[in-house]
Structure 1
Amino acid sequence: MSSLRVVEICAGAGGQALGLELAGFEHALAVELDPMAAETLKLNRPKWDVRVGDVADPEVWDPEQFRDVDLLAGGVPCPPFSIAGKQLGANDERDLFAWAVELCGIMRPRALMLENVRGLSAPRFSAYRQHVLDRLNELGYVADWRLLHASDYGVAQLRPRFVLVALREDDAPYFTWPEASPLGRTVGEELVDLMAANGWKHASHWAGRANKIAPTIVGGSKKHGGADLGPTRAKRAWRDMGVDGLGVADAAPSADTPEDHDPKLTVEMVARLQGWDEKKWHFAGRKTSKYRQIGNAFPPPVARAIGRQIVAALNHEGEPRVHTETVAHDEVYRVLRAAADPLTIAEIFERIDGSLTLEEIELRLKHLMRDFNMQPIDSESGEPTYKLGDFRAFIGQDDHVRHEYLAQMRSKVS
């Protein structure tokens, strides 16, 4: 095991934290906004330095004090990129992804690891991703994105997550993404003992019905209702496995529960499906709070798998790989970023060698105008021209709208 140090932002209830600990990292600091999730961290790791509050508030912690830490990690808010939301990206007051990237310029960690929802991998955010890669390159890091499924790393749940890993140039050649190692166990196999905990004699029959991988567990937010297992489509998938997704149970089925009963999952069952050992990691708060903490977490086995690869890279284990050019996520963004003068769509098309159609370029420009300050400029020829403006995301600006939003919505932000 290594003695490498990690600072974790937006730490939640400790899914990523536990995984990184198992990979060999020691926590120098964990920062979390939600008091109950922070209480969970303190409950399980009382010796850790856990700060409670807005991670971007200098009153909560000073990034300068953790300069040259080995790893900066976090699961920054997902709503800006979630397919279930409006996908406002840089215009969403909750977006902290760009701000976390800027921390690399202050803290100079040897490595960065940030995870988010699958939505961030969509074409809508190609320019956002390209900006992140280019900014990290300016700061001296080699970065890459990868969409990983929890079911490939020992979790009986699909749960796709989009992960960014960046390392300093001398460490990057030693990093490789973890190879898939599926658990091969279904929801029924994982939970049959917990379903039978109160003597339900039909638990084995139920386990046969639940012979599938779970859909993605959704923790939800403080804005919307109590705990349940996700949107309508997910509830149908749970129903097909013999699980009632309309809420979370207080206990496993009783001994006299009939065979055709569709039980609800308990908090302990959900924790196990997220990759926790529910007997070794305890959650603070009442049932709904516990469920949200668990459902919003990064599964520990996935964090451990990535963390081990980062440890290997920082220790320069194995043979270094020859670095190849990172795949471009948005050619239109790169062309406009390099251009000194505004360009027409035809000029953009010419500079990207026709790799996109004119219609595709127009769509990319619409996406760009959502995340960057740029508007069409009339030219002498009458064709609109485009010039890339400033990134709209929060990166620490004192006058950013995020400050007002957080002051008004603090109790509902999760």
Structure 2
Amino acid sequence: MHVENEQNPPAFTVAEICAGAGGQSLGLHKAGFRHVVAVELDETAAETLRQNLGAPVVVGDVADPKVWEPANYADVTLLAGGVPCPPFSAAGKQLGTSDERDLFAWAIEQIPVIRPRAVMLENVRGLSAPRFAAYRQRVLDRLEDFGFVGEWKLLNASDFGVPQLRPRFVLIAMAAEDMKYFRWPEPDGRARTTVGDALFPLMASAGWPHAEEWRRLANDIGPTLVGGSKKHGGADLGPTRAKAGWAKLSVDGRGVADAAPGPDALPPSQVMPRLTIEMTARVQGWREEDNYSFSGRKTSQYRQIGNAFPPPVAQAIGESIRAALLREGAPRTDIADQTDLHDPVYRALSRSEQPLSLDELVAAYNDGSVAAVQQRLAALQRDFELVIVEDQGVDRYQLGEFRGFTGQADHWRHGVIARERNKIS
């Protein structure tokens, strides 16, 4: 796919951060958005973007002002991105703000700089876990500070014709007058696409006589593709559990093949086939008509695909954003002057000028359990400073600084990025 730059500025523009190889980018293009800039750390993925999007691509750490100036893209329609997943992934250590790759909070701080009409940020399901309730609450509260209303939703790619589950946790935010017209996309109504149906033409393309037999065996959606990072992962389909899931669909997940099975290849009951790069792209939601090519060697290509946001999901969300900005449909009545409450303990602490006791926090939590509040405090303390003061024999809690990176010039993240630039993805 190649999209020519238009001479006249399009009505719906997007600045995309952490753009990867362009899964989200392609979906947004199909939804009617055009890039004014795409920022990506990995040079090979950036080359993929250049080859396929025809949009300005900037290479480097998105939080480095020497790489790009967000203010130069003020008043873009949409600020979008798939900020790095490892800080929140259950497959990792869920370090949150202690992971140098955490850019979610930084991205939120760009809203008053770029002044977009809408924001779309996606990440792994792990960000929806109780561990990050305070983190999410801070995001929503910062959005409120900027005059935006934010909503989170967990979407499964399999609901949009993609032959894998791939749950993604998506944040959409707009001003209230636009947000009341936003509705999350519904499943497209088509029968769920199985791996066998999606990949049969490719499996049969080199003359494998057992392709139809394999199609019948691969009669379900696949596990989530795991692209890994420069620190971990290679050209295979993921950790042990993922490989076992692929084996149930008669796919050998221990590597990626260079070509589809040929006329002399054994039946899948004897030797399970491996997926090619083109097949993994199809599993991730790229379609034949996209005519999309990936730069680099096989491991890099697979990593780009495995870490991508499925284009059909991005397209569906993009169309919902576009409809909201056009004020299509009847306005919603369920978002009037309120945002979802993810962590009442954080909310109480952040809005109190005085330290609060456990009893006061229990009352704010509406849970009636000291143990539940203590669990919240323990999780909160991983991403925020928590000051405990004794007042007449009673411990009181006061919220300190957010530990995360929001653009501070003296933050420890800068040193890590400088030392390990070639290992971070």
- TM-score w.r.t. length of structure 2: 0.94
- Which residue does the alignment assign to 1:388? 399
Percent identity over paired residues: 59
Structure 2 alignment gaps of length 5 or more: 1-9
Which of 344, 349, 368 is equivalent to 2:380?
368
Alpha-carbon displacement from aligned partner over 1:138-160 (angstroms, at most 9, x marks no partner):
10001100000000111111000
Q: 1:55 aligns with which of 39, 54, 62?
A: 62
Matching residue within 36, 42, 66 for 1:34: 42
How far, CA to CA, are the matches of 2:331 and 2:233 in structure 1?
50
CA contact (8 A) 1:151 1:182 kept: no
> Which sits farther off after the overlay, 95-104 or 253-262?
253-262
The answer to whether the Cα contact below 8 Å between 1:374 and 1:389 also exists between their aligned partners in 2 is yes
Query: Structure 2 matches for 1:258-297, cutoff 5 A?
Result: 258-259=266-267, 260=269, 261-278=271-288, 280-297=291-308
The C-alpha deviation readout for 1:75-98, integer Å capped at 9, x for no partner, is 000011000111111221110000
* Contact 2:227–2:233 (CA under 8 A) maintained in structure 1: no
Q: Name the structure 2 match of 1:252.
A: 260
List structure 1 runs of 4+ shifted beyond 6 angstroms. none
Moved more, 209-218 or 183-192: 183-192
Question: In structure 2, how many angstroms separate the alpha carbons of the residues matched to 1:239 and 1:162?
Answer: 27
Given candidates 319, 323, 334, the residue that maps to 1:312 is: 323
Residue 318 (structure 1) shift = 1.4
- Per-residue displacement from partner, 1:132-191 (whole Å, max 9, x unpaired)? 001000100011000000001111110000000001122111111001125422001111
Q: What letter is aligned with 2:313? A: V
Q: Which residue of 2 aligns with 1:349?
A: 362
Matched, 1:403 2:410: no
Aligned to 2:118: 111
CA offset at residue 59 of structure 1?
1.4
Q: CA deviation at 1:225?
A: 4.6
Deviations 1:241-262 (A, max 9, x none): 1011101001111111111220
Q: Distance in 2 between matches of 1:29 and 1:413?
A: 22
2:182–2:321 CA contact under 8 A, matched in 1? yes
Distance 2:317 2:234 in 1: 32
Distance 1:350 1:320 in 2: 34
Which residues of structure 1 form unaligned runs of 5+? none
> Residue deviations 1:5-40, cap 9 Å, x none?
000000000000000000010111100000000000
- 1:72 equivalent to 2:79? Answer yes
Task: Please identify, of 368-377 and 198-207, the stretch whose mean Cα deviation from structure 2 is larger.
Answer: 368-377
> Does the 8 Å contact 1:28/1:48 carry over to 2?
yes
Matched, 1:234 2:242: yes
Give the SS at the match of 1:388: strand
1:278 positional shift: 4.6
Partner of 1:81: 88
The aligned amino acid for 2:177 is D
Q: Is the 8 A contact 1:271 1:278 kept in 2?
A: no
**1:83, 1:289 → 2: CA distance?**
23
TM-superposition CA deviations, 1:253-298 (whole Å, max 9, x none): 1111111220110000000011102561100011110000000000
- The structure 2 residue matched to 1:173, chosen from 180, 194, 203, is 180
CA distance in 2, matches of 1:375, 1:95: 24
Q: Look up the equivalent residue of 1:117 and give its one-letter code.
A: V
3-state DSSP of counterpart to 1:389: strand
Q: Cα RMSD (Å) of the superposition? A: 1.2
Query: Secondary structure, in 3 states, of the residue corresponding to 1:236?
Result: helix
Larger displacement relative to structure 2 (304-313 or 216-225): 216-225
For residue 390 of structure 1, give the secondary structure of its aligned residue in structure 2: strand
Task: Compute the TM-score of the two structures, normalised by the length of structure 1.
Answer: 0.97
Q: Give the Cα–Cα distance (whole angstroms) in 1 for the partners of residues 364 and 349 of structure 2.
A: 10
| CA shift for structure 1 position 355 | 2.3
What is the letter of the counterpart of residue 328 of structure 1? L
Per-residue CA distance 1:55-110 (angstroms, 9 max, x = gap)? 11111111111111100000000011000111111221110000000000111100
Rounded to whole Å, the distance in 2 between the matches of 1:345 and 1:339 is: 14
Shift of 1:224: 2.3
- Correspondence for 1:377: 389
Counterpart-to-counterpart distance in 2, 1:81 and 1:198: 40
Q: How does 1:90-239 map to 2 (within 5 A)?
A: 90-181=97-188, 183=190, 184-239=192-247
In 2, Cα distance between the equivalents of 1:356 and 1:134? 24
Q: Which residue matches 1:300?
A: 311
**Contact 1:143–1:167, Cα closer than 8 Å, also in 2:** yes
Q: State the Cα distance separating 1:317 from its structure 2 match.
A: 1.1
In 1: Cα distance, 2:85 partner to 2:387 partner: 27
Per mean C-alpha deviation after superposition, the further-off stretch among 230-239 and 7-16 is 230-239
Structure 2: distance between partners of 1:246 and 1:233: 12
